[in-house]
Amino acid sequence: MFFGFDPLYIGILAFTLIISGIVSVMVNSRFKAGQKVQIQSGLTGAEVASAILSDAGIYDVRIQETNGFLSDHYNPMNKTLNLSKDVYHGRNASSAGVAAHETGHAIQHAENYFPMWLRSFIVPAANVGSNLGPWLVIIGIIMMSAHILMGQSVAIFGVVLFGIATLFTLVTVPVEFDASSRAKKRLAHLGILQEGRERQVVAGVLFAAGLTYVAAAISSILQLLYWALRAGLLGGRRDD
């Protein structure tokens, strides 16, 4: 059968799309609400990042503006902290929270935080696994249906490859929540955010952002289980 019309697979995709959609709406809503909360310290996102880096004794990370909405990220390859325009120039709770979160990744890198190191290590294999893994499972199943030797081995190899991609999403969850935890502690320690509303808004923005990685992990786990089922690793092989 053609996998795109498998009711089970369609159900999994629909479920994960709904979860991802809900989380995406939540992130955008909280970020935009946080933009309306001007912080009393008056610092821009770039200034927040600079203050946290200095407090952590990190002086070899370059802060720069990047294009795109919520395209903020830390690049450990060239040690750059890339902040979107809204975050880089913003003087509000959302900008401070996102900038601090990305700076948390820079601190993780400087401290050789193991989950972050592990995530970076498996990135190449995860990229291959997410794209190639499902196709190998499909090819393996076709081979098994045609009674071709090594068919199940090919399918199992595809599952293993996709499993690496799933591992990446699982490792990403603690990395992201740890960065948010570091961010909130540094913001409080430096007095960048006032107690009460400012800190509550930032906590809400960062929690919602963290849920996007939880949703991605759930999606990947469900798909991994599906491919394992189709490869005959769970409940026997399905040929229908």
Q: Which residues are catalytic?
A: 102
Are the CB atoms for 55 and 103 separated by under 8 Å? Answer: no
Are the CB atoms for 81 and 101 separated by under 8 Å? Answer: no
Counts for the chain of helices (H) and strands (E), in that order: 7, 3
Are the CB atoms for 100 and 184 separated by under 8 Å? Answer: yes
For residue 66, what is the DSSP state? E
CA angle, 172 then 176 then 181, to 5°: 150
Q: Terminus-to-terminus CA distance in the chain, angstroms?
A: 6
Pairing of strands 73-75, 62-66: unpaired
Whole-angstrom Cα distance, residue 202 to residue 124? 33
Are the CB atoms for 174 and 210 separated by under 8 Å? Answer: no
DSSP-based three-state secondary structure for 71: coil
Are the CB atoms for 19 and 236 separated by under 8 Å? Answer: no
